[in-house]
Amino acid sequence: MKGKEKKRSKLSETFLVLKSFGSFFLSHHPECERFKGHAIKLGKYEFCIGCFIGYPTSFISIIILGVFKLTESIPSNYLIIFGILFMLTFFLSLTGATKIKVIKIIQKIFIGFGSALIYWGIFSLDFSDSTNFIIFILVFSTIITFLNTYHAYGLYKTCKKCEFQFKWGQCSGFEAIRNKLKKYDLPDLIVDIEFRSKSRKEN
């Protein structure tokens, strides 16, 4: 019985930790004025624009294009070229135009739709299914790695300019999470992350 209670307690604690970080899991950014343009508010929750608009657009477009066979009459090279053109809207981020939230949302829709065209363009190539699948894995792994690296760099650059500069234990963007951890009588994991990152730098 004791073992069961201990296990239940651990599960409950894990649930409370996840609940404390819930807002961050949805927005993927600190709750900070510097990152307001990266999230869209729906009800009381904020969602990361890139993840909750870009990825769903891609998946929905892939399904719709496939179900209605809209790509069958279009040569694969055209699909890939148009897909790349849509995805090139990524470079709007470098111009600062995506600081306007509407432009950012449209950009993510274009990137998602472009990736769907590239997906069907690859699977329409005159190679075996296994070869097309390998090409798909290589291409999309490269795209996702590039986008996530750029996203991480943007996060780093923004936090670097901030007065707190990666001092997560003091950062106002993580205050709500710290308060929830305190409310549930949990260890301050934000401070732990800050301490570990400092220790790695010193080593």
Please, what is the angle between helix 55-67 and helix 101-122, to 10°? 40
Share of the chain above pLDDT 70, in %: 90
Confidence of residue 13 (pLDDT cuts 50, 70, 90): confident
β-sheet bridge partners, residue 39: 48
Amino acid 139 reads V
Confidence of residue 198 (pLDDT cuts 50, 70, 90): low
Confidence of residue 8 (pLDDT cuts 50, 70, 90): very low
Residue 3 has pLDDT above 50, yes or no: no
Residue 172 has pLDDT above 60, yes or no: yes
Q: What is the DSSP string of 61-107?
A: HHHHHHHTTTTTTS-HHHHHHHHHHHHGGGGHHHHTGGGSHHHHHHH
Our measurement of the distance from residue 191's CA atom to the centroid of its chain's CA atoms, rounded to an integer in Å, reads 23
Contacts of 194 (CB under 8 A, 6+ apart): 166, 167, 168, 169
Instruction: Compute the mean pLDDT over every residue in the chain, rounded to the nearest whole number.
Output: 87
Q: Are 85 and 114 in contact (CB under 8 A)?
A: yes
pTM: 0.81
Q: pLDDT value at position 160?
A: 87
Q: pLDDT value at position 41?
A: 87
CA angle 157, 163, 166 (to 5 degrees): 55
Residue 175 has pLDDT above 70, yes or no: yes
Confidence of residue 119 (pLDDT cuts 50, 70, 90): very high
Own/partner long-range contacts of 166-172 (Cβ < 8 Å, ≥24 apart): 166/194, 166/197, 167/194, 168/193, 168/194, 169/194, 171/30, 171/32, 172/31, 172/32
Question: In whole angstroms, how far apart are CA 9 and each of 16, 21, 84, 125, 132?
Answer: 11, 19, 50, 54, 48
Q: For the chain, give every domain's residue range.
A: 60-162, 164-203
Residue 147 has pLDDT above 60, yes or no: yes
Contacts of 57 (CB under 8 A, 6+ apart): 108, 109, 111, 112, 113, 116
Share of the chain above pLDDT 90, in %: 50
Residue 197 has pLDDT above 80, yes or no: no
Residue 63 has pLDDT above 60, yes or no: yes
